[in-house]
Structure 1
Amino acid sequence: MLIETLEKQLALHKSLLELARRKTEAVKHNRMDELNRIVREEQKHVNAIAILENKRTEHSGQTLAELLPSRSMEEQQKAGLLRDQLVDVLHELQQTNQLNEELLDQSLQLVHFQLDLIAPPEAGNYAPDGEADRPPATGPVFDSKA
């Protein structure tokens, strides 16, 4: 039961890692529809992983390190190998998610920059006394002589 659950968790985390890699490519190539599909798939994986983890801990409430000493040597070795593989996948997943976060942050900064170029932030607001609060006149924004 323990080995089976660990194998399922490992498979789900590997699949989640593949989704994270696909997400990186979708962000790099600005494919937002694909990115949305990937995020929905990721959520399904996360839910399935949470269910497996709850199932694993519901019987004893112990961590893997606490459970292993009571198991046979063969089961301890197999579980230890699966744990090591899971740790490696989780580490790689963490790095990929960090990269995705940085890429998304850069994309968002670029969008904000482009929006600021299109519509300057000081577009004229009303002052507290009801009078129009206009930026100082510096001449026309568009020079028709050019």
Structure 2
Amino acid sequence: MSAEALTATMEKLLKLHKSLYELAVKKTDIIKTGDMDGLNQMLKDEQAHIAAISRLENEREKAANSIAPMLESPTVSDCLNILTQPDRLKLEAITKELAELVYELKEQNFLNQQLVHHSLQFVNVSMNLLRPQPESMNYGPPANKKSEKMNPGIFNSKV
């Protein structure tokens, strides 16, 4: 494999991440509307994207190993130091765009996580309002009566 293979793999990774970001934006709207069927389908689509990204990541590792076999687990940054100027510039641009996209995806997923969390809080509050409150199952006098302090009896008094 060569620099072209690494660049092609990185371009595919970028394309898949763009698609995953678009799914995350759509998921925000689905969460807002409360469409559970749509959310389930969206999660399946995301899982398919993640599996494809994982396969491409393995290809990227192989391509990086072929460019920098002297390193144990070469990164794209390690490969950039080895590549020639034209290949390096193209790969740097793709890497930078991918890093920015991953950051945006992370932010969008954080927003989705917050929306789901707030939705669950709302459901819990609604459920608590609808459920009857359980009565106390403690032994002893009822809570509304004041307990009277008993005077020590004859047998408990000091001589």
- TM-score band by shorter chain is 0.7 to 0.9
Q: Which residue of 1 aligns with 2:28?
A: 24
Deviation per residue, 1:66-106 (Å, 9 max, x gap): 11122121110000000111011111101100100000000
TM superposition outliers: structure 1 runs of 4+ over 2 Å: 122-127
Aligned-pair CA distance for 1:136: 6.0
For this pair of structures, how many residues does the alignment match?
131
Distance 2:50 2:23 in 1: 12
Distance 2:55 2:137 in 1: 54
Aligned-pair CA distance for 1:50: 1.0
Structure 1 gaps, min length 5? 138-146
CA RMSD of aligned residues (A): 1.9
Aligned-pair CA distance for 1:124: 4.2
Aligned-pair CA distance for 1:126: 6.0
Q: Which residue of 1 aligns with 2:127?
A: 115
**In structure 2, which of residues 8, 16, 38 is the aligned counterpart of residue 4 of structure 1?**
8
Letter paired with 1:93: L
Distance 2:29 2:109 in 1: 12
Aligned-pair CA distance for 1:125: 7.4
Q: Which residue of 2 aligns with 1:96?
A: 108
Residues 43-122 of structure 1: pairs in structure 2 closer than 5 A: 43-59=47-63, 60=65, 61-120=73-132, 122=133
Moved more, 20-29 or 59-68: 59-68
Q: TM-score, normalised by structure 2?
A: 0.76
- Higher Cα Rg, which structure: 2
Q: Which residue of 2 aligns with 1:141?
A: none
Q: TM-score, normalised by structure 1?
A: 0.82
